């Protein structure tokens, strides 16, 4: 199973930049989208269906044009869960899960800490999602949580490790991500590439992408039960529909 995660920074904008052609060429079995910034009714969903994804699910923020996640599947999942049931998280449309027989896949968009109020919200979300994921694994042990975590874990994951006072690389955020992994997850990319320095997000400022001054803030986190099933994990920086690029994990199920 090939799973791709992609923060598209607006699905409608991405469509105008050739997203459908790219999707068909990439050919994942499941793609988790973050930051769609759209409600399903604002889109012509036949575009996704004609591209080979007849099963598409959308969980959008109450506020239009904001946040929101989606998952497209080639095969129909046996169950779909919209949100987490935690109101403080769900009103911003940040979690969506599809369950198959052998694995469950979640698209997650963890908040960014752009100011003090949002940073407080981010820390609250981090606490709640860790508790939620820990509970969830009791009934769904084979779980992949894909998405934009908005945190660089280690110094190798950021072009300038001196940026310790910036949200996304705060010591508390990095510590939390370590705690999340230690609760029973594997960072699939780092697991297979312990020394590789690649990024999944670049600022639009100062030619950051051209100069590869990036951050690795997108992850395909795989539960330890699937450790021996991880066959490939890689980043796709050549896809340029967003300030993020897609990341992929392949599982031998």
Q: For strand 218-223 and strand 185-187, is the pairing parallel, antiparallel, or unpaired?
A: antiparallel
Structural contact between residues 4 and 247, judged by C-beta atoms closer than 8 angstroms:
yes
Please list the active-site residues: 148
2-251 CATH choice from 2.40.30.170, 3.60.10.10, 3.10.129.10, 3.40.50.1010: 3.60.10.10
Measure Cα distances from 69 to 82, 108, 169 in Å: 10, 7, 23
What pLDDT is attached to residue 39? 97
What pLDDT is attached to residue 127? 98
What pLDDT is attached to residue 6? 99
Residues in the chain, pLDDT under 50: none
Structural contact between residues 48 and 55, judged by C-beta atoms closer than 8 angstroms:
no
What pLDDT is attached to residue 223? 98
What pLDDT is attached to residue 121? 97
What pLDDT is attached to residue 166? 96
Cα Rg for the chain, rounded, in angstroms?
17
What pLDDT is attached to residue 11? 98
* Full 3-state SS string of 202-246: ECCCCCCCCCCCEECCEEEEEEHHHHHHEEEEEECCCCCCCCECC
What pLDDT is attached to residue 226? 98
């Amino acid at each position: 199973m090939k799973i791709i995660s992609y923060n598209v920074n607006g699905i409608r904008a991405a469509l105008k930049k050739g997203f459908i052609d790219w999707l068909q060429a990439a050919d994942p079995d499941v793609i988790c989208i973050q930051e769609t910034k759209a409600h399903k009714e604002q889109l012509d969903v036949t575009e996704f269906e004609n591209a080979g994804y007849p099963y598409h699910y959308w969980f959008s923020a109450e506020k239009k044009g904001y946040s929101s996640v989606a998952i497209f599947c080639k095969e129909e999942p046996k169950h779909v869960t919209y949100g987490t049931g935690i109101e403080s998280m769900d009103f911003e449309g940040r979690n969506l899960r599809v369950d198959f027989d052998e694995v469950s896949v979640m698209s997650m968009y963890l908040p960014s800490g752009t100011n003090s109020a949002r940073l407080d919200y981010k820390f609250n979300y981090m606490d709640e999602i860790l508790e939620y994921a820990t509970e969830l694994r009791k009934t769904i042990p084979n779980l992949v949580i894909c998405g934009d975590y908005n945190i660089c874990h280690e110094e190798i994951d950021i072009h300038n490790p001196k940026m310790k006072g910036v949200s996304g690389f705060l010591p508390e955020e990095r510590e939390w991500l370590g705690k999340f992994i230690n609760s029973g997850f594997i960072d699939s990319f780092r697991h297979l590439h312990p020394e590789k320095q690649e990024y999944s997000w670049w600022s639009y400022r100062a030619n950051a992408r051209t100069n590869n001054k990036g951050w690795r803030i997108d992850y395909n986190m795989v539960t330890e039960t699937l450790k021996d099933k991880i066959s490939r994990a890689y980043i796709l920086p050549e896809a340029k529909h967003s300030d993020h690029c897609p990341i992929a994990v392949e599982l031998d199920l």
